[in-house]
Amino acid sequence: MGEEPRDMTARREGDRREASDGTVGKALDVLDRVAAFGRPVRFAELLDGSPFPKATLYRFLQTLVHQGMLSHDPGTGAYALGVRLVRLAHAAWAQSSLAPIARPHIDRLSAAVGETVHLAQLDGGQVLYVDKRNARQPVAMFSQAGRVGPGYCTGVGKAMLAHLPEAARARAVSQQAFHRYTPATITDPAAFALELEAIRARGHAFDAEEHEPGIVCVAVPILSRAGTVLGALSVTGTTARTSLQALAGLVPVIRATAADIATEAESWRFPEEQTQGLVARGGAGA
């Protein structure tokens, strides 16, 4: 897999919810730290770079292991994420995301366009991919269900940000890292604001190799009737096989799919969910 853009984007100030509230927050922070390593990790490694003293960290790890959120190999002394998480995740995926509703629609879309399709939701200014359908020849690229990506240089990210209400958009934009992944990456907030305007006007967003060279995509937001952003849908291709012009031609069918998903999501008990992703963590406001 790629490098670690994750840290750049995820570690933005003003969003640090970790050690803010109580013991639980701290414990979850420890969990995140283990997750960040992406591999089984030993006590000492975890210790430096952690804001907790030895004994405290140790107790947290014990608790988390005992709770099944982490597993601990007595042999090597390594801590890894536990299976309880996988179980919880299944429930989370099934209940708090568009994925289960969208699944058949995405299948159909994927079959129709013959390219990779992504379903994403917004998570604190970042893009969370909740489902993906591969084209016949799978392209090696950065994305999978559960993965997070930057909001400012992906099609789905821009499509969602553009359709956020003023206040939420401002907050989300302020959380962007604006790291230059490729020469085409937009790194200037002012230019980004214009780009969002344009996207909102035309109703869909492009990613012109802004995140990965050779990868382009077109994305449309999934909007509730009230106009709140539920998620976004994108079709991706490589410059070798397709072009932005060709992708633009797919907008009608993608938009139709998005509309179908939105309708179904609303009709079948799905309140306003999405903006909550932001409200939930922002904490700042009223």
Partner DNA sequence: AACCAAGTTTCACATAATGGAACCAAGGGA
Partner DNA sequence: TCCCTTGGTTCCATTATGTGAAACTTGGTT
Q: Residues in the site for DNA, rule: CB under 7 A? A: 1, 21-24, 26, 42-44, 47, 52-56, 58-60, 77
Query: Minimum Å distance from CB 273 to DNA?
Result: 16
In the complex, the smallest distance separating the C-beta of residue 270 from a copy of itself, rounded to whole angstroms, is: 8
275, 156, 180: which is closest to 227 by C-alpha? 275
Least CB distance from residue 98 to a copy of itself, whole Å?
11
Q: Is residue 95 a contact point for a copy of itself (CB under 8 A)?
A: yes
Binding residue for a copy of itself (CB under 8 A) from 93, 178, 193, 253? 93
Specify the residue, 24 or 226, whose C-beta has the smaller distance to DNA: 24
Place of tokens 């934009």: 173
Least separation in angstroms between CB 42 and DNA: 4
Interaction partner, residue 89 (a copy of itself, DNA, none; CB < 5-8 Å by kind): a copy of itself
Cβ nearer to DNA, comparing 20 with 137: 20
CB-nearer residue toward DNA: 182 or 275: 275
Residues 145-184 that bind a copy of itself (CB under 8 A): 145-148
Tokens (6 digits) for 162: 């553009």
Residues 6+ apart with CB under 8 A from 115: 135, 235, 236, 237, 242
Report the residue number, 240 or 286, with the smaller CB distance to a copy of itself. 286
19-58 footprint of a copy of itself as x/- string (CB under 8 A)? -xxxxxx-xx--xx--xx-xxx------------------
Interaction partner, residue 55 (DNA, a copy of itself, none; CB < 5-8 Å by kind): DNA
Which of DNA, a copy of itself, none lies near 90, with the C-beta cut-off 5 to 8 A by kind? a copy of itself
Q: Is there a contact between 135 and 182 (Cβ–Cβ < 8 Å)?
A: no
Residues 121-150 interacting with a copy of itself (rule: CB under 8 A):
121, 123-124, 128, 130-131, 133-134, 138-148
Q: How far is the CB of 7 from a copy of itself (least distance, A)?
A: 10
* Nearest approach, Cβ of residue 66 and DNA (Å): 12
Among 75, 183, 240, 284, binds a copy of itself (CB under 8 A): 75
Residue 143 to residues 120, 127, 131: CA-CA distances in angstroms? Answer: 10, 10, 9
Q: How far is the CB of 201 from a copy of itself (least distance, A)?
A: 28
148-149 and 126-133 as β-strands: parallel, antiparallel, unpaired? antiparallel
Choose the one of a copy of itself, DNA, none that binds residue 35, judging by a C-beta under 5 to 8 angstroms depending on kind. Answer: a copy of itself
